[in-house]
Structure 1
Amino acid sequence: MTIPKTTICLWFDKDAEAAARFYAETFPDSRVNAVHTAPGDYPDGRAGDVLTVDFTVLGIPCMGLNGGPQFPQSEAFSFQIATDDQEETDRYWNAIVGNGGAESACGWCKDRWGVNWQITPRTLTEAMKAGGAEAQRAFAAMMEMRKIDVATIDAARRG
């Protein structure tokens, strides 16, 4: 396997493999590529512990590093997932929140490992790109939501 030029590295306390396997089960074009164990002891683990996991999320190469609790995930990084309809929006939202995650506002949620996700229907992104009154109405509707309701965004776009 060729090493990609760019890889997103996600720091986990100790569950990089579990997170990578969840992502591979949840999203298309996602998989666990390799699991690597530590060749020696390190500050938050021992030789033989899973140290890194190479995985792909929706075609994006990633590496999970079991680095310990020093650097928790934050909203400063998120995966934004463009969805085509309410069914797809619900499927991803429910998978993340229903597996120990948490809801946030405006289409954001957090998985049980602290990684943030924006589950964003394309209709919302299209409304923002349209600008003007359409964007203002869709934005106002979104500000009242946790999970995005496609029908409500579509109605706001129409005015």
Structure 2
Amino acid sequence: MAMGKTPGDSEGNGEDVGFAEINITPLTDIFLVLLIIFMVTSSVIVQQAPGGAQTGLKVNLPKGGTTDVTARATDLSVAVLSDGRFVLGGNVVGEDELKRAFAKAQEENPDTVVIVQADEGVPHGTVVQVMEMAKSVGLGQLAIGVRDSR
């Protein structure tokens, strides 16, 4: 512990006393640096499904009972945003690009599962539209992404 002399004692005959203040500036600096590091790294993290299928963004999925579909790296994950836009692999795409991606996936692997992750506010018709696009090119294995209800 740091020791000092009693104030006003120029001869050095005063008694030793402890300082009454603790310098917390270095501790505060460390906490601020850690806060900045966590903020930067959390904004970089990309939401990824357990099997490797990537959406690239967070979609507010509705709750469901059980999750019995595990995404594989070859599966195609399509996110439908609340404003009706389609997101494939982290990029916003139009209907034509989505149909081409479905056709390419069907050519590469006919057993590709199309996982539709629609926001809670998306109309049912938009989800059906995406599923019909997938079925029109021959992709018959479809799944709807939901949050676990637990």
Choose 1 or 2 for highest CA Rg.
Answer: 2
TM-score bracket, normalised by the shorter chain, equals: under 0.3
State the structure with bigger RCO (CA 8 A, min sep 6), 1 or 2: 2
Higher strand share: 1
Q: TM-score by structure 2 length?
A: 0.26
Q: TM-score by structure 1 length?
A: 0.25
